[in-house]
Amino acid sequence: MKTVQIRQKIEKASDGFTTGERKLAAAILSDYPYAGLSSIQDLASRSEVSAPSISRFMTKIGLTGYQQFQRLLIAELKDGDRSPVEVHERGRHIEGDYLADFLAKASAQMAIAGDAITDEQFNRVCTLLSNPKHSVYVLGGRISDTIAAHLSFHLRQARAGVFHLPSDPETWPEYLLRMKAGDIFFVVDFRRYQTSLASLAALARDDRGARVMVMTDKWISPVARHASDVLPVPIKSGTLWDTYSSALAVIEAIVTRIAEDTWELTRDRIESWDSLRVTTKDSPQ
């Protein structure tokens, strides 16, 4: 009989998680199984929840406590049952044909991303982002804003009320004043985090009543302390630069799911969009 993995226990119980428990789950799954091999104090600090909250989380997913949690993780590592030991060869440099090996590493990172974000979380995020009753505001960091731009562009094709904030902080008050309770503020922030994004997220949540979501890495952006949903994706490539392949793939999955689920409305909006785009093009004199 196949042993149920910890990640499967987390997935099964995820519908009943509180905001803090979702953050804890994100911290565990973003560097699975290694994040759970640290002390309970270290995991509490990283996920910004208390040690007693972690103990309650363990009970909720069907375990007796943190010690059993770690024993099962160690057993999974020994079994090698499709754990990151197999899919994530840490610190390995590019070997052989550079392009082919680089793409293979990117593919492995995408597989890890698929394990780090639960189906329940993915479905919840898609549902919230597609809800026309609430506007969506999007912003990323110095480099990661390209991921935010990808989300905002495609989401605007499917629905109205999507705003990509400019990088200039002087313009941010205008967008904060637009935000209403229940609106979504989606932040993309990877390591070398920008403190200004965390400050903006705090204002969006506390002053405007917005729901904050953050896409980040396994080290978890400070924005997460203000977020209801944390989407962790792997970025470490073992090369000079971090890779955002997994982040882009998750964003594309989100916008594609939303467009397919709301296809009638999306089709009409794209057709109207295209007709207006054509008429505003420069034409020969």
Query: Which domain range does residue 63 map to?
Result: 6-87
- Cβ atoms 234, 247 nearer than 8 A: no
More confident residue, 139 or 83: 139
Q: What is the domain count for the chain? A: 2
60's tokens: 């909720």
Query: Can you list the alpha helix ranges (DSSP code H) found in the chain?
Result: 6-13, 19-30, 40-47, 51-60, 66-79, 84-87, 98-116, 119-130, 145-158, 172-178, 195-206, 245-261, 263-279
Mean pLDDT of the chain: 88
User: Do 166 and 258 fall into the same domain?
Assistant: yes
**Does pLDDT of 87 surpass 50?**
no
Q: For the chain, what percent of residues have pLDDT higher than 90? A: 64
Q: What is the mean pLDDT of the segment spanning 83-92? A: 43
Three-class secondary structure assignment of 199-252: HHHHHHHHCCCCEEEEEECCCCCHHHHHCCEEEECCCCCCCCCCCCHHHHHHHH
Both 255 and 139 in a single domain? yes
247 and 123 fall within a common domain: yes
Please indicate, yes or no, whether residues 132 and 224 belong to a single structural domain of this protein: yes
Residue 195 shares a structural domain with residue 262: yes
Same structural domain, 54 and 137: no
CATH number at residue 41: 1.10.10.10
Given a contact cutoff of 8 angstroms between Cβ atoms, the answer to whether 219 and 190 are in contact is no
pLDDT the model gives residue 34? 84
Strand order in the sheet with 162-164: 162-164, 136-140, 184-188, 211-216, 229-232
Of 212 and 31, more confident: 212
Tens-place pLDDT, residues 236-248? 877 778 889 999 9
Task: Write down the pLDDT at residue 88.
Answer: 43
